[in-house]
Amino acid sequence: MTISKKFGYKISIVGDGGVGKTSLIKKYTKGTFETDYVKTIGAQFSRFDKEIGSDMIKLIFWDIAGQDDFNFLHPLFFQESKACIIVFSLEENDLGRDSLVHIKNWYEELIKYCGDIPVILFANKVDLITNERINEDKIQKIVEQYNFLGYYLTSAKTGEGVTDAFNRLIKKLYKTSKNLFSSNL
């Protein structure tokens, strides 16, 4: 197949440390999952190419460390992001509760450095909780409050929701770019 156009997007992935940002990226880009937790230092990025129709989408996922030690670097890491994924943990522990509360902080920081860009929410680690324990109404209220594109229940371990969640955001960026490209002709 001949590639007709190329599009490139930087997507920042943010959330508290330990919510599974790195694991989600690895699951989507490589199909792998590692059980050992390794803290991200500062930020790391992953490149991934995806074809949509006859167009090539070049993606750079910026995995931004969630620990407070790295907050001073955030303005640099957020630069030129075209979209963002905010990840929180569904776990019923301090990490889960705190990461849910901190969605607001991540969103405010994102708006400060990136302006109004598409944001999607990943409710991660769905494999560690029963469906009856998930408060989807509460998650939906957060989505509506901040005008996110939506939310997905995800599991980096099992892969549940991961591909659909990433693809939703990528297709939104692509569709917007295609519309801009067409209107400039």
In tens, the pLDDT along 15-64 reads: 998 999 999 999 999 988 877 656 565 567 788 999 998 899 999 998 86
The rounded mean pLDDT for the chain is 87
Determine the pLDDT at residue 185. Answer: 43
b/e burial code for range 91-121 (CB count within 10 A of at least 16 → b): beeebbeebbebbeebbebbeebbeebbbbb
* pLDDT over threshold 50, residue 180: yes
Q: Tell me the range of 71-75, 79-83, 174-178 where mean pLDDT is highest.
A: 79-83
* Domains of the chain, CATH where assigned: 6-183 (3.40.50.300)
Encode 31-49 in three state secondary structure: CCCCCCCCCCCCEEEEEEE
Comparing C-alpha atoms, which of 142, 130, 51 is closest to residue 90?
A: 130
Alpha-carbon distance values, 51 to 20, 48, 62 (Å): 26, 10, 20
Angle at 168 between CA 163 and CA 170, to 5 degrees: 95
Query: Backbone phi, then psi, for 8, in 5-degree steps?
Result: -130, 140
Residues 137-160: what's their mean pLDDT?
96
3-state secondary structure of 66: coil
Please give the helix or strand (H or E) that residue 93 lies within, else none: none
Question: pTM to 2 decimals?
Answer: 0.90
* pLDDT over threshold 70, residue 181: no
Which residues neighbour 95 within 8 Å (Cβ) at sequence distance 6 or greater? 16, 18, 19, 89
Alpha-carbon distance values, 75 to 12, 64, 72, 95, 151 (Å): 12, 11, 7, 24, 25
> Residue 54 gets which letter from DSSP?
T
Q: What single letter denotes the amino acid at residue 119?
A: V
